Copies of this chain bind each other. A is one copy, B any other.
Amino acid sequence: MAAAARARRVSPEASITVLEKSSHVSLGVCGLPYLIAGLVPSVESLIAVPEKELREKRNLNILTRHEAVALDLSARKVVALGPRGHHREFGYDRLLLAPGGKARRPAVPGCRADNVFTLQGLDDALILLAWLDRPSCRRALVVGGGYLGLEMAECLCQRGLEVSLWEKEGRFLAFEESLSQRLVQHLQDRGVTVQLSSELQGLEGGRTGPVSCAVSHGQRSKADLFLLATGVDPQISFLKQGAFDRGPSGALRVDRRGETSQSGIFAAGDCVEIEHRVSGRPIYLPLALPASRLGRVVGENCVGGQARFAGTLGTLATRVFELEVARTGLDRASADAAGFEVEVVEVRAGTRAGYYPGGQELLLTVLYDRRTRRLLGAQAVGREGAVARVGIVSAALEGGLTVDDLERLDLAYAPPLATLWDPLVLAGRISAGSPHGERN
C-alpha cells in the first residue's frame, strides 16, 4: 500500500489495481503481538488507512481475497484466484511484486499440528487468539528469539501463560555476548524460561492431544501451544523458477530503482534483497521500514519516476518487557564476512546523573574497523536510552563518521536525562585508549 499510495500521489491519472490475498489491506502487522497481548483493543485499530478511503479518496482499485497465482511475462498478465474460486486475469504496463514473506516452518516432524502457530498476518493472529481462549492453554513454547519471538514471549506472558523461549543461536539478535546475557536475565526475571543454542528437532503428540514435546539436543519441553517465530522466506513460489534473478538468500534481486531483472517489473517488501549501506552487500531483511521505503520508491517508479532507494543500515529495535533493545549497522559476524577488521568497544553507563533518582544502566557496544576507524554499527540494551543511542549511531553511519568522531559528539547533558559524558562519547574515548572520564 505504501507503493500504491505513492504512485497515486505522483500520478493522479494512473489506473492502479491492488491484488491482496487476505481480506484486508493497510494492516499494521507489527502490532499483532500487542493485539494478542490485549494491549491493542481491536483489529480495527491496526488498520492504518481504511479500505474505503483508499478506494474513494485515493482511487485505488483494491481487490482483497485475490491471490496472484501466476504471471505471464510475454502477455503481461497476472492470473489471480478470486474469492469464489475462479481465476481472473489482469493486464499491466508496469507491475509491482509485493507478495511479502511467508513464515518459515522448520522441516522437522510435528510442525503442522493444531497447536503449532505462526504469526504472519491477521488470520494467524485470529486463530491464535481463539486457541488462547481455551482454559486448558497454560504453557507456551516460543521457537525463535528474533524480534518477533521476543515480543511474543512478552505478550504471551502478559496473557498469563507460562512461557519458554528457544533460540537456536547462542545469542539473541546477533548481539555481543554481554548484551544478549542482559536480555536473557531480564526475560528470566520476568518468568520466561530461556534456552539458547536450542534448535527444534521435532514436536510430538500434537495431533492426538493438546500437550506436545519439543526436542532439541536431547531436551524436551512440554507446552500447550507452540509458536514458530523462526523467520520468513519470500513468498514467490508463484513466479516461474529462473524468470527473475535472485540473490543468495533466494529473494528477488532488484536495482536501486526497485526494478527486477525483468524490465518494467518492480518488487519491494519481504520478497526482495536490499543493499546494506555499511557492507555494500545485498541482504534479506524483512522489516517494515525498509519495505515501506522501497515501496515508496517503486510506487513512484511504476508511474515513470526515477526515485532511488538508499539501502538500509539494518536498524532494528524492540521493547522486551521493560527493556529497550536496539541495533544498527553490522554485527560482528556480518562485519567479519564483509572483510572489515572488527573492533568492539563496550560501555556500561548510567542514563542519568549518578545522584538523580531513577537512572538505569545502559549497556552499549560500538563496532568499528581497526584500519580505517570507520564506524560499523552499534547495539544497546537498557530500560531507557538504548534506542536513542542506536539512532545517534545510525545518523553517524549516514554521515560516515569514525569511532573517533564519537568522542566529539555534542550530546546533551542534564541530570534527569543524561550523564555528563554520554556512553557514546565514552565509547569514542575508550577506542582512542583514553577511557577515563572525569565524572563531575
Contact = CB atoms under 8 A, between A and B. Distances in A.
Interface in A389-436: 389-401, 405, 408-418, 420-422, 434, 436
B408 A399 contact: no
Contacts of A440: 1-2, 26-28, 48-49, 292
A259 interface: no
Contact of A317 (B27, B316, B418): B418
A391 B388 contact: yes
Nearest to A2: B438
Of A290, A310, A315, A416, most B-chain CB atoms within 10 Å = A416
Contacts of A313: 410
Interface in A1-45: 1-2, 5-6, 9, 26-28, 30-31, 34, 39-40, 45
A34 B388 contact: no
A40 B357 CA distance: 7
A315 B411 contact: yes
A31 B388 contact: no
A312 interface: yes
Contacts of A418: 317, 387
A355 B26 CA distance: 14
A134 to B, nearest CB: 26
Contacts of A28: 353, 355, 415, 440
A377 B49 CA distance: 33
Nearest to A439: B48
A415 B324 CA distance: 12
Given A319-B416, A388-B388, A328 B410 contact: yes
A353 to B, nearest CB: 6
Given A34-B355, A356-B31, A356-B39, A289 B394 contact: no
A31 B408 CA distance: 24
Interface in A83-120: none
A263 B114 CA distance: 82
Interface in A321-361: 324, 326, 328, 353-357
Contacts of A416: 34, 318-319
A34 B357 CA distance: 10
A45 to B, nearest CB: 4
Interface of A: 1-2, 5-6, 9, 26-28, 30-31, 34, 39-40, 45-46, 48-49, 147, 277, 287-290, 292, 295-296, 310, 312-319, 324, 326, 328, 353-357, 387-401, 405, 408-418, 420-422, 434, 436, 438-440
23 contacts: A1-B438, A5-B438, A27-B440, A28-B353, A28-B355, A31-B353, A31-B356, A277-B410, A287-B413, A288-B420, A289-B413, A317-B412, A317-B413, A319-B414, A319-B416, A319-B417, A387-B412, A392-B394, A394-B409, A394-B412, A395-B396, A395-B399, A395-B401
